[in-house]
Structure 1
Amino acid sequence: MPRILMERSGEMEVFCRVVREGGFSAAARSLDLTPSAVSKLIARLEGRLGARLLLRTTRALTLTDEGEAYHRAAERILRELNEADQEATGGAVRGRLRVSASVPFGGMFLAPLIPTFLERHPDVTVDLSLTDDVVDLLAQRADLAIRMGALPDSGLVARKLGQSRAVVCASPAYLARRGTPAAPAELAAHNCLGFNFRRGRNGWLFREEDRAIELPVSGNLLANNGETVRQMALAGTGIARLGRFHVAADIDAGALVPVLEAFNPGDLEMVHAVHVGGGQVPRRVRAFIDHVAENLPRELFGG
């Protein structure tokens, strides 16, 4: 009978932590071990497998091809072990939950929902990262992401949380200084605030004479997130096109004014929760998605 290797899951946990933290010292701190103990565990793992998993230099740590394959398998196995533990303890929701979301959605709507989620599930640790870049869930080891807009074809599982239309808006001070455009073509004479990351369409969408048109716009500010564009619009720098969910409070307060609403095409920006498919979805992921879906403001994200 082959010898049972009782230490395998521990080696996997240490190896995955080294990859996650980007180094032996950081992994050792998070595991309450010494760097030498972590180094010995990784050396023992590589010796048992007969393969080099990590390439270590004074500046960086990278995975070999064998390390990439082992890391994918180890992450999957550790997830399944955690799920087995949860099933054995009556399906308790526990563990670290890594969530990625856009800056405006995460700051305005997701973060305020986390305290009540943690009150309900005190054994969960939420690890929230806000960025308007599209995150590779596998590469970043994220459990789920909240994404706005159309979803590309992928192996990810998506659940629609809601939708919000876009609105073109500017501050009263900007409109007083530069005038209010009466037709989309007049935007050529205005400073239109944009984004510096790749989007599904480059221009702004309008509807004229019952047909949709995509109008190229330009301005002197590009940003990598919607919150910066919103702040620049509030400061009177230019005209912005943003999701209504993002600027509804500013419009209600009179700090921003919708323009060209007669030409608004009514296009909807979908909000989805996405996670990696295959196998059983961890309970903490399902619980968090359910919590967000139940508590998003319907007036802004009506389905």
Structure 2
Amino acid sequence: MDRIDAMRVFTRIVERRSFTAAAKDLDLPRSSVTDAVKQLESRLGVRLLQRTTRHVSPTLDGEAYFQRCLRLLADFEEAEAAFAGTSPKGVLRVDVQGQLARRFLFPALPAFLAQHPGITLQISEGDRLVDLVREGIDCVLRVGEPQDSEMVARRVARLAQLTLAAPPYLARHGSPVSIESLGNHRMVGFRSTLTGGLLPLEFMTGGVRSEVMLPAPVSVSGAESLVAACRLGLGLIQVPRYHVEEDLLRGTLVSVLSEIPPPTMSVSLLYPRSRQLSQRVRVFLDWVSAEFAKHRGKNGVEVD
């Protein structure tokens, strides 16, 4: 194994805190990963990693070497990518918000893979916060305003949202006409994956954001469950318009308070600030941005 590959092995071990996970990520035998580190330590004359039966962490020398390796590997990939005719290759690990990805990205995946045959995509799905570096993920697609300052956020779209109710619910509670008229209403609670608390309903009036917390007989933590509970007449909800287009057409859900809509919801790609982008991550980011741009002006999708 040459020095560049050994550096890749070492950095992946530090990021994953595991020889086994690094070997799996790199599709190498665990023995090859172990040997690569031994050769590095022998060549450098220092111990790079602290090893226990359950945990791997860099020594002080190992942390310094890790940071240098990140810069060298990024420069190496940049140098290779600068030559005409090179194409991105390797495994690209992304984590996505499932409903969003299925609606806007999955239909175009065959074209992306045909254009970049050297890339192998590994897609995981979720709404939770992830430690990209520790979990070996290259980037994530998320809705909402990014909170993690350690991540670089690239906004790719803004989604118009609606306040919705089912006809049976409106028959029982009446249709609200203003924020003040919400006193006798209920909402389906949506529980934040960040805080565990319920998120309030939000409204924009004259450019000012207002929050309203209503009683929530039922609360959920998933977007699909939120819409399903609303269809059953369990309360008001707020979701992006694209998510409920078919419900609006069928009449199973009705938009209310359209004069004071919820604020738009950001869609962003996030990647580690500490790591220079590889060529395969760059082409993926550009592709995602282009796919959302194709939907500009449709189903409440806005692109800057």
Q: TM-score, normalised by structure 1?
A: 0.78
1:187-226, Cα deviation, whole Å (9 max, x unpaired): 5541432123237994222256886421123414444442
Cα distance in 1, alignment partners of residues 51 and 184 from structure 2: 53
Q: C-alpha root-mean-square deviation of aligned residues, in Å?
A: 3.5
Q: What is the DSSP-based 3-state SS (H/G/I as helix, E as strand, rest coil) of the residue aligned with 1:96?
A: strand
Q: Which of 204, 228, 231 lines up with 2:228 in the alignment?
A: 231
Q: 1:163 touches 1:270 (CA, 8 Å); kept in 2?
A: yes
AA partner of residue 85 (structure 1):
E
Label 1:277 to 1:190 Cα distance change in 2 as closer, same or farther (>3 A): closer
1:5-29, Cα deviation, whole Å (9 max, x unpaired): x832232233344456664445445
Q: What is the DSSP-based 3-state SS (H/G/I as helix, E as strand, rest coil) of the residue aligned with 2:160?
A: strand
AA partner of residue 197 (structure 1):
T
Cα distance in 1, alignment partners of residues 71 and 220 from structure 2: 36
Aligned counterpart, 1:255 = 252
Show the 5 A alignment for 1:105-124. 105-124=100-119
Cα distance in 2, alignment partners of residues 140 and 203 from structure 1: 31
Q: What is the DSSP-based 3-state SS (H/G/I as helix, E as strand, rest coil) of the residue aligned with 2:82?
A: helix
> Does residue 104 in structure 1 map to residue 96 in structure 2?
no
Aligned length: 295
Report deviation, 1:117.
0.8
Label 1:272 to 1:212 Cα distance change in 2 as closer, same or farther (>3 A): closer
Aligned counterpart, 1:3 = none
In structure 1, the gaps of 5 or more residues are 1-5
Label 1:268 to 1:96 Cα distance change in 2 as closer, same or farther (>3 A): same
Q: Which of 78, 81, 87 lines up with 1:92 in the alignment?
A: 87
1:127-158, Cα deviation, whole Å (9 max, x unpaired): 22322223344444433333323344736544
AA partner of residue 114 (structure 1):
L
Cα distance in 1, alignment partners of residues 155 and 65 from structure 2: 33
Cα distance in 1, alignment partners of residues 277 and 27 from structure 2: 29
Q: 2:119 touches 2:280 (CA, 8 Å); kept in 1?
A: yes
Cα distance in 2, alignment partners of residues 27 and 213 from structure 1: 47
In structure 2, the gaps of 5 or more residues are none
Q: Percent of pairs identical after alignment?
A: 30
Q: Which of 256, 261, 265 lines up with 1:264 in the alignment?
A: 261
AA partner of residue 213 (structure 2):
P
Label 1:242 to 1:120 Cα distance change in 2 as closer, same or farther (>3 A): same
Show the 5 A alignment for 1:1-303. 7-19=2-14, 23-28=18-23, 33-47=28-42, 48-57=44-53, 60-66=54-60, 67-88=62-83, 90-152=85-147, 154=149, 156-176=151-171, 178-184=173-179, 185-186=181-182, 189-198=185-194, 202-207=199-204, 212-264=209-261, 267-276=263-272, 281-296=277-292, 297-298=295-296, 299=298, 300-303=300-303
Report deviation, 1:123.
1.0
**Greater mean deviation of Cα atoms: 101-110 or 275-284:** 275-284
Report deviation, 1:122.
1.0
Report deviation, 1:34.
4.0
Q: 1:193 touches 1:222 (CA, 8 Å); kept in 2?
A: yes
